[in-house]
């Protein structure tokens, strides 16, 4: 049996982190955890319940009422985000959530809550987790850390295509503004800002197909497993 490792994938919004994470998890029979989905689900809860996330006591209280679960959908084998017994996988991808999620994710209480859960999920290894601070804060000792990036134009186009399929009223400009807004907040916040871990391997997929990015990552995985054994 091959040794199980932890693989972290961090990087800018919409560059293909979750696509690569899912590809690797499927191949290695690892668990895939989308850490961004947790911040999105918490944001959904705060918006629905009118929680003022600038007030620490309000956040603390609200978090006591949140139950987050990753549940596998047996129809397609994908892991989906559930919030208090409701499948929210589809609704958390909405631009309404994307517009607020970076503000919510910058709150200390929210990060402590999410990071503790993420670390618990990685206890047994055999996990691929993507996000912004996974290699730097959540799993600083991960055996393989990937930092993904792609040209902003490419990233905007990729996310626009996804959102347009759900809502044809969406504009390229809106998507661009949201990406720039989130990337700015995510990389400038005081707690766990987005940055490349010193020992991360960089993957720029601006001009790579999904198959090509997987091939590169597979090579890195092999090396990391050999090194860990
Ligand atoms: O997939 P996309 O790049 O649009 O973003 P995501 O991974 O769903 O994450 C949504 C937001 O959650 C990010 O813009 C960050 O503000 C926050 N996030 C974070 O702060 N830390 C993480 N580990 C993951 C996401
Ligand atoms: O997780 P993150 O926000 O970084 O990105 P994603 O949701 O994995 O990917 C955003 C979009 O880019 C998806 O629609 C992917 O199918 C697409 N993509 C692509 O076209 N080429 C790649 N090499 C990687 C992703």
For the CA of 159, the nearest ligand:
2
Q: How many CB atoms lie within 10 A of CB 19?
A: 17
* Ligand 2 lined by 158 (C-beta under 6 Å): yes
* Ligand 2 lined by 40 (C-beta under 6 Å): no
Interface confidence (ipTM) of the complex: 0.97
* Ligand 1 lined by 186 (C-beta under 6 Å): yes
Q: How many domains does the chain have?
A: 1
Q: CA 42 to CA 72: how far, in whole Å?
A: 20
Domain for residue 113, yes or no?
yes
Which residue, judged by its Cα, is nearest atom 15 of ligand 1? 102
CATH number reported for the structural domain that contains residue 66 in this entry: 3.40.50.300
Q: CA 138 to CA 122: how far, in whole Å?
A: 9
Domain for residue 227, yes or no?
no
Is position 18 annotated in a ligand binding site?
A: yes
- Cα of first residue to Cα of last residue in the chain, in angstroms, is 11
Q: Write the DSSP symbol of residue 141.
A: T
Domain for residue 80, yes or no?
yes
Per-residue pLDDT of the chain (229 residues; tens, 9 = 90+): 789 999 999 999 999 999 999 999 999 999 999 999 999 999 999 999 999 999 999 999 999 999 999 999 999 888 999 999 999 999 999 999 999 999 999 999 999 999 999 999 999 999 999 999 999 999 999 999 999 999 999 999 999 999 999 999 999 999 999 999 999 999 999 999 999 999 999 999 999 999 999 999 999 999 999 999 9
Q: Which domain holds residue 13?
A: 6-208
- Dihedral sign for Cα 103, 138, 145, 42, please: negative
């Amino acid at each position: 049996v091959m040794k199980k490792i932890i693989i972290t994938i961090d990087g800018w919004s919409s560059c293909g982190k979750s696509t690569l994470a899912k590809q690797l998890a499927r191949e290695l029979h690892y668990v895939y955890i989308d850490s961004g989905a947790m911040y999105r689900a918490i944001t959904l809860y705060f918006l629905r319940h009118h929680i003022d996330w600038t007030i620490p006591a309000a956040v603390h209280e609200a978090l006591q009422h949140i139950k987050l679960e990753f549940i596998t959908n047996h129809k397609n084998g994908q892991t989906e985000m559930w919030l208090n017994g409701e499948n929210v996988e589809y609704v958390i991808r909405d631009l309404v959530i994307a517009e607020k999620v970076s503000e919510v994710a910058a709150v200390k209480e929210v990060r402590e809550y999410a990071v503790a859960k993420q670390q618990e999920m990685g206890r047994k290894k055999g996990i691929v987790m993507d996000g912004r601070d996974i290699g730097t804060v959540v799993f600083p000792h991960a055996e393989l850390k990937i930092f993904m990036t792609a040209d902003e134009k490419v990233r905007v186009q990729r996310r626009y295509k996804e959102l347009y399929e759900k809502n044809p009223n969406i504009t390229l400009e809106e998507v661009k503004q949201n990406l720039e807004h989130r990337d700015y907040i995510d990389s400038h916040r005081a707690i766990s800002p987005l940055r490349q871990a010193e020992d991360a391997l960089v993957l720029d997929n601006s001009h790579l197909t999904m198959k090509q990015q997987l091939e590169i990552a597979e090579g890195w995985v092999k090396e990391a497993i050999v090194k860990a054994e």
